[in-house]
Amino acid sequence: MTDKDQYKIRKEPFYQAQGKEIALYEAAYAARLPVMIKGPTGCGKSRFVEYMAWKLNKPLITVACNEDMTASDLVGRYILEANGTRWLDGPLTTAARIGAICYLDEIVEARQDTTVVIHPLTDHRRTLPLDKKGELIEAHADFQMVISYNPGYQSLLKDLKQSTKQRFTAFEFDYPDAQLETGIVAKETGTDEALAAKLVKIGATARNLKGHGLDEGISTRLLVYAATLIKGGVEPRDACRMALVRPITDDADIRDTLDHAIDATFA
């Protein structure tokens, strides 16, 4: 049997709540309801799940989804060995067996024929058929399914199927308000609040431009990166250009505007 403890989160992750999400998640977990977390990239979805796993003291198995992933990558497969073949559980199977929270991060990145394998785990059956192995797994009582997805991609090909969506309770995350976000950046990186507030302000500038040439603004994650660079001795303007502006846009007008916002913010 797999050692659960290797999947436990040992140290309390720093998580700044934005609302009632902690209590709501606990309630969903108590009923073992599947949870979907919607929100733009880098707004704290993964951090939240980590925090909840720690708080509930349950193992957490995270899978970062991608286009090349097959159902076997989730469920498991036979592998050849010198003296025959051996079955190897995939992460989803492991989670179901040991009673972990299974977190499929950025699920829309996976192909849709891949994601349907989670369906039987997300309704009252709570089972996972391993067709090739001829085994039907009953999920452990502690098992829970969590997915995250970013509805801001604006491509209908990267939208979840209705039949998948309808299986989850959902949280809608967004970037925190200025004050909370300042606190997050400061605590996460150990920079002072004044600097963090400036970074947050630049972040807000970009978010105001959403729909006018930017699909998504500057994420909390990028703000944390910028603060980290500054903390490491990089000149603030350079750090901002490198961590906040260049990654998100190739549009010259937007770049120029954000660069100006940086200069205007750091006198």
Partner 1 sequence: MSEAPTEYEHPLMKAYREQLGCGFPQVAEVFEDCMAEALSVLSREGIDAYLEYAHFLCKMGRGVEPVLIFLEEWPSIATTLGESALPAIADFIRKMWKSPNGRAIVPFLQSLAATSRRLHSQEQMQDYMDLALAFMERTTGSIHGIHTTFASPGLPEFFKQSPYLLNQVSIAGLKNWVEYGIRNYGDHPERQRDYFSLQSADSRAMLQKERHGTLLVDNERKLDLYLRGLWREDARFVPYSLKFDELRKPIPYYDKLGIRLPDVFDDRNGVAGIDRYRAVLAHIVGHRRWTTAIFADNYSPFQRMTIEFLEDSRVEYLAMRQYPGLRRIFMALHPAPAEDACDPEKESAVRHRLAMLSRAILDPNHTYKTPHIIEFAQRFHALMAQGESSTQAMAELAVAFGAKTRRQSDQLPKIHFKDTEVDYRDDNRQMWKFIEEGDEEEAFDQQRKIELEEITGLPPRHYAEWDYNSQTYRPDWVSVYEALHPKGNPAHIDQLLIKHAALAKRLKRMLDLLKPQDKVRIRYQEEGSELDLDVALRSLIDYKSGATPDPRINMSHKTSGRDIAVMLLLDLSESLNEKASGPGDASGQTILELSQEAVSLLAWAVDKLGDPFAIGGFHSNTRHDVRYLHIKGYSERWDDEVKGRLAAMEAAYSTRMGAAMRHAAHYLQAQKADKKLMLILTDGEPSDVDTKDERLLIEDARQAVKELDQQGIYTYCINLDPKADEYVADIFGKQYTVIDNIQRLPERLPQLFIALTK
Ligand X SMILES: Nc1ncnc2c1ncn2[C@@H]1O[C@H](COP(=O)(O)OP(=O)(O)O)[C@@H](O)[C@H]1O
State the residues that interact with ligand X by CB under 6 A. 14-16, 39, 41-47, 184, 188, 220-221, 224
Of 151 and 247, CB closest to partner 1: 151
221 binds, among partner 1, ligand X, none (CB under 5 to 8 A by kind): ligand X
Token digits of residue 162: 């209705």
224 binds, among partner 1, ligand X, none (CB under 5 to 8 A by kind): ligand X
107 binds, among ligand X, partner 1, none (CB under 5 to 8 A by kind): none
Residue ranges in contact with partner 1 by CB under 8 A: 68, 70, 72, 77-82, 151-152, 154-157, 159, 162, 205-206, 208-209, 211-213, 253-254, 256-258, 260-261, 263-267
Of 14 and 87, CB closest to ligand X: 14
Of 34 and 42, CB closest to ligand X: 42
220 binds, among partner 1, ligand X, none (CB under 5 to 8 A by kind): ligand X
82 binds, among partner 1, ligand X, none (CB under 5 to 8 A by kind): partner 1
- Of the candidates 265, 203, 196, the residue with the CA atom closest to the CA atom of residue 231: 196
Q: Closest distance between ligand X and the C-beta of residue 176, in Å?
A: 6
Q: Closest distance between partner 1 and the C-beta of residue 27, in Å?
A: 26
Buried b (16+ CB within 10 A) or exposed e, 109-137: bbeeebbebbebbbeeebebebeeeeeeb
Under a CB-based contact definition with an 8 Å cutoff, are residues 254 and 202 in contact? no
Burial of 157 (0-12, 13-18, 19+ CB in 10 A): exposed
d(CA 223, CA 92): 32
d(CA 245, CA 189): 19
**Residues 6 or more apart from 54 whose CB is under 8 A from it?**
9, 11, 12, 13
